[in-house]
Amino acid sequence: MRWMRRRLLFRALRKCGQLAAVADRTGAIRPNDILCFATVRNEAERLPYFLDHHRGQGVAHFLIVDNDSTDGTRDLLTARPDVSLWRTGHSYRLSRFGMDWLAWLMIRHGHGHWCLTLDADELLVYPHHDTRDLRDLTAWLDAARRPSFGAIMLDLYPKGPLADRSYQPGQNPLDVIDWFDAGNIVTKYQPPQRNLLVRGGVRRRVFFAAEPERAPTLSKTPLIRWNRRYVYVSSTHSALPTHLNRVRGRAAGDVPSGVLLHTKFLPSIVAKSREEKRRREHFANSSLYEDYYDALIGNPDLWSPTSTRYQGWRQLEALGIMSRGRWD
């Protein structure tokens, strides 16, 4: 694992030349600021709410890589004074799905900060998020000597065909997609990285029922008190050193955890799936996902009688999807 970490950090150093600054405002970052890192492409519809949501939770500065957007994403982000923006036209897949670029930015700007690493279609919620912001949560984590915070990605979807709803930029996605699968989550321990891999949700039920081991991983560690020697291995599903992955399960102890509300299934997913099937940039073995993209292009209805309507963090805690642990 030590050699893997060094190799991944070296990759980040090699890929830094692929980034060109568009709006570098990192000089405004203060020592105790909570930072948010993301790689985006054509996310102009999601970003206004994404920024507002996490800004309201206490994120002080956003460091974002734009991967050749064509929908106004770059102009939207450049206009935000709490955003530093870089652009690149290089391959998302060959940069470990953007993680090499973010690793470099975290080496340069994240050291010593609590860093939240997200996709644009993820909204972090956690116990008491409606009354306590991330500064409260990270203060508790610091006091408990816990350098990382885990979350489960929860796929949200509408009732009815995906493209038959409408969504406006800046709107709360929960106005449009507010259903999820609550009861088909499975876990598997991975000894090398000492993390619990979690799969399940609507994608496992609908798209990967015949081969559930191919279903996307839901477990993530999106919030870490960063050190320039740290690195993410696979998206934010696992990190090195391995002690950062002790964020859920019996081995981690009674710790709080959160949920990433996954807004992938907004109405635009149908058109985006057509484009991503053509680009083949989102999966290491894109041919395995041909049927997945074809199903999404067909504008499916993901709702079932077993679906659960989202009602807030207390509901997720009652279902065992998140935990407040000893933070109360």
What's the CATH code of the domain at 133?
A: 3.90.550
Query: Which whole number is the average pLDDT over 47-52?
Result: 98
Name the one residue in this structure whose structure tokens are 């990967």: 208
Distances in whole angstroms, Cα of residue 328 to Cα of each of 112, 145, 158, 257: 26, 17, 32, 12
Inform me whether the pLDDT recorded for 285 exceeds 60.
no
Checking DSSP bridges between strand 122-125 and strand 308-309, what pairing results, if any? unpaired
Question: Residue 216: inside a domain, yes or no?
Answer: yes
CA-based nearest residue to 38, from 129, 105, 89, 126: 105
pLDDT the model gives residue 102: 98
- How many residues would you count in the chain? 328
Question: Residue 327: inside a domain, yes or no?
Answer: no
Query: Which whole number is the average pLDDT over 96-108?
Result: 96
Inform me whether the pLDDT recorded for 144 exceeds 90.
yes
Question: Residue 63: inside a domain, yes or no?
Answer: yes
Q: 25-34, 35-44, 91-100, 121-130 — which is least confidently predicted? A: 91-100
Q: Which helix (H) or strand (E) holds 189?
A: strand 186-190
Inform me whether the pLDDT recorded for 41 exceeds 60.
yes
Banded pLDDT at 276 (limits 50, 70, 90): confident
Q: 18-32, 122-136, 282-296 — which is least confidently predicted? A: 282-296
**Average pLDDT score over the chain:** 93
Inform me whether the pLDDT recorded for 287 exceeds 70.
no
pTM equals 0.94
- Cα atoms found within 13 Å of the Cα of residue 313, Cβ hemisphere only: 19
Rounded-to-integer distance, Cα 112 and Cα 33, Å: 10
> Which residue segment(s) compose the domain that 208 sits in?
2-318
Inform me whether the pLDDT recorded for 290 exceeds 90.
no
Query: Which whole number is the average pLDDT over 82-99?
Result: 95
248-252-254 Cα angle (round to 5): 85
pLDDT the model gives residue 197: 86
Count up the domains in the chain and report the number: 1
Tens digits of residue pLDDT in 226-260: 999 999 998 999 999 999 999 987 667 789 999 99
pLDDT-above-90 percentage for the chain: 80
Checking DSSP bridges between strand 114-117 and strand 219-225, what pairing results, if any? antiparallel
Q: What residues pair up with 63 in beta bridges, in sequence order?
A: 37, 84
pLDDT the model gives residue 272: 87
pLDDT the model gives residue 188: 85
Banded pLDDT at 286 (limits 50, 70, 90): low
Question: Residue 324: inside a domain, yes or no?
Answer: no
Query: Which whole number is the average pLDDT over 134-140?
Result: 97
Name the one residue in this structure whose structure tokens are 């994120």: 59
Question: Residue 323: inside a domain, yes or no?
Answer: no
236-108-27 Cα angle (round to 5): 120
pLDDT the model gives residue 284: 56
Inform me whether the pLDDT recorded for 183 exceeds 90.
no
Question: Residue 108: inside a domain, yes or no?
Answer: yes
pLDDT the model gives residue 221: 96
Question: Residue 325: inside a domain, yes or no?
Answer: no
Give Cα 321 distance to the centre of its chain: 16
Do the Cβ atoms of 209 and 200 come closer than 8 Å? no
Inform me whether the pLDDT recorded for 328 exceeds 90.
no
Query: Which whole number is the average pLDDT over 84-96?
Result: 95
Rounded-to-integer distance, Cα 83 and Cα 322, Å: 29
pLDDT the model gives residue 278: 76
Give Cα 158 distance to the centre of its chain: 20
Could you give the 3-state DSSP secondary structure of residue 171?
A: coil
Rounded-to-integer distance, Cα 326 and Cα 328, Å: 6
pLDDT the model gives residue 251: 67
For residue 232 the two structure tokens come to: 């993410």
Inform me whether the pLDDT recorded for 7 exceeds 90.
yes
CB burial class (10 A; 0-12, 13-18, 19+) of residue 250? Answer: exposed
Do the Cβ atoms of 223 and 148 come closer than 8 Å? yes
Question: Residue 91: inside a domain, yes or no?
Answer: yes
pLDDT-above-70 percentage for the chain: 96
